Structure 1
């Protein structure tokens, strides 16, 4: 009895502490001219462990359900444990009924300066600001979880966006770039504020239509899935008309432009002239791609 109970307790402990991410972290220090310093590799491992070994939610996930993400930290200057850097964060989740994945988040953050000493432990505490490095990484993990949740249920990521908001509020005490309302329209503050704003509710609803009603049904009904993706883009056009040039719209098309081009170019023919007009209006940066769509 005792052995059986111990085994069950161990099993459920494993389930309770399942991690949510498969993260790959790259630290590039070429611009510093000091690439042989071991601290850069130590930083790379420490950030990857923070992401992959931390328990961010109460969910129990199989390996194939975990969110793949890539973190690129580009260090332009390093001196006395002070890092001047940028960070690019990309994430994807599986597409139902297929062996492929779909990008759900892609953003480059230029407001990423931090202190880190070699072998310094990186631990996330929701009630404490320990460092700009930990807060920034944790903020993006919860933001990714929020985006992922929004793709599976209408506004399904709200709890995670709220958790990211707690990080914003706690980190503001540092006065660091990216956390304050004065940090600009491409900041972490603005990203989170928009995600929690009623002005962008339809944006988040479009994420559900695009992914759950669109991509996830294409394995059994390509035409319906394709039509839903068109519907989602038209929803995004409405949001963009009311709130143009938002960080959310920019990050969406940075992540999705190739996928949209491929989806609209293949499969059953549907009327795409209106959606092409919408794409050129919302994301003119990608007009060369939109012009290659042939349905």
Structure 2
């Protein structure tokens, strides 16, 4: 009996070490405040457990290696039965070497989220089929978070997770919902399709150069780290040269604009003429921020 108990404890311990995400899920229900709020509490708990307890890869992530992320649902409507519509903001960050700082790696605002959910229903994801919009959306973004995180640590390290995300998109084609199809615009389909496409290979290269090649070196040499960011922005410029106003360029700056501003307005001075020029060309919508970077 003791033998079986020991095996069971080891099994539970291995599971606690296996999952990849450290995720918080939040629901804002201000627009449906008159409805029964209990279903949202149940849903929040279920989604949190689903995202954190599902094993998304074949790798083992120990506690400190888990990826910090959040799913924020701004609920637009709920019909008091099982139909939900919402805007979903997905954010993720990764730690920077030899520091207490966590750098944002993803900040996606998905405005086309609709799903059905019956309170207390089991959430079990099958990667080989489309079972529900809710499960597919959660699994898609879980894989995208893992992909970008892996790309930030090794060149194209997130390829497997991107392939998993693309498989989810392919399985969801039967829904004909525009967020999953090429008929949409800057949606889930294009997010993963563009990251896999060789046309946008410099984007993934820039992710690696920016994080592993620059931020992770700042604790040793802040100026060298800034030079690394300048190199990463120059690489990202290759995407803009081929596809001006590319979706992935916007994705990059939705996560990184404030961080870049903070980096280049503090610490040792470097030649930022090229940096500011590239920033204005890559993300003109943030020109007011780039104007605060002094030469």
SS at match of 1:89: strand
Query: Pairwise CA RMSD of aligned residues?
Result: 1.8
Task: Output the CA distance in 2 between the equivalents of 1:244 and 1:47.
Answer: 37
Structure 1 residues 126 and 289: alpha-carbon distance in aligned structure 2, compared to 1, 3 A threshold: same
Preserved contact between residue 31 and residue 77 of structure 2 (Cα < 8 Å): yes
SS of residue matched to 2:92: strand
1:91 alignment partner in structure 2: 92
Structure-to-structure mapping, 1:151-170, within 5 angstroms: 151-170=152-171
Question: How far apart, in 2, do the equivalents of 1:267 and 1:8 lie?
Answer: 53
Deviations 1:114-139 (A, max 9, x none): 11111111111101211101100100
Match of 2:204?
A: 204
Cα distance between partner residues in 2 of 1:199 and 1:34: 48
**CA shift at 1:3, angstroms?**
6.4
CA 8–40 in structure 1, closer or farther in 2 if over 3 Å, else same: closer
Deviations, residues 130-170 of structure 1 (Å, cap 9, x unaligned): 11011001000001100001000011100000000110011
Q: Which runs of 4+ in 1 moved over 3 A?
A: 2-13
Looking at structure 2, the residues matched to 44 and 12 of structure 1 have their Cα atoms a distance apart, in angstroms, of 27
Q: Residue in 1 aligned with 2:40?
A: 40
Deviation at 1:173, TM superposition (A): 1.5
Q: CA shift at 1:61, angstroms?
A: 2.0
Contact 2:180 2:188 in 1 (8 A): yes
- Cα offsets for 1:172-223 (capped at 9, x unmatched): 1122231111122x11001011011001111100100000010001111211
- Seen in structure 2, the aligned counterparts of structure 1 residues 274 and 139 have a Cα distance that, compared at 3 Å, is same
Q: Is 2:34 aligned against 1:31? A: no
CA deviation after TM superposition for structure 1 residue 31, in Å: 1.1
- The alpha-carbon distance between structure 1 residues 119 and 9, as it changes in their structure 2 partners (threshold 3 A), is closer
Unaligned runs of 5+ in 2: none
Structure 1 partner of 2:55: 55
Q: Is the 8 A contact 1:95 1:101 kept in 2?
A: yes
SS of the residue corresponding to residue 98 of structure 2 reads coil
Q: Secondary structure at the match of 2:178?
A: coil
CA–CA separation in structure 1 for the residues paired with 2:40 and 2:5: 42
Q: Equivalent residue for 2:263?
A: 263
What is the TM-score with the length of structure 1 in the denominator? 0.94
SS of the residue 2:270 aligns to: coil
Q: 1:177 to 1:64 in 2, by over 3 A?
A: same
Unaligned runs of 5+ in 1: none
1:236-272 alpha-carbon deviations (Å, 9 max, x no partner): 1121121122221111101111110111122222110
CA shift in 2, pair 1:37/1:218, >3 Å: same
Q: How does 1:126-275 map to 2 (within 5 A)?
A: 126-184=127-185, 186-275=186-275
Aligned to 2:179, the other structure's residue is in SS state coil
Shift of 1:99: 1.0
Are the counterparts in 1 of residues 144 and 165 from structure 2 also a CA contact under 8 Å?
A: yes
C-alpha displacement of 1:93: 0.7
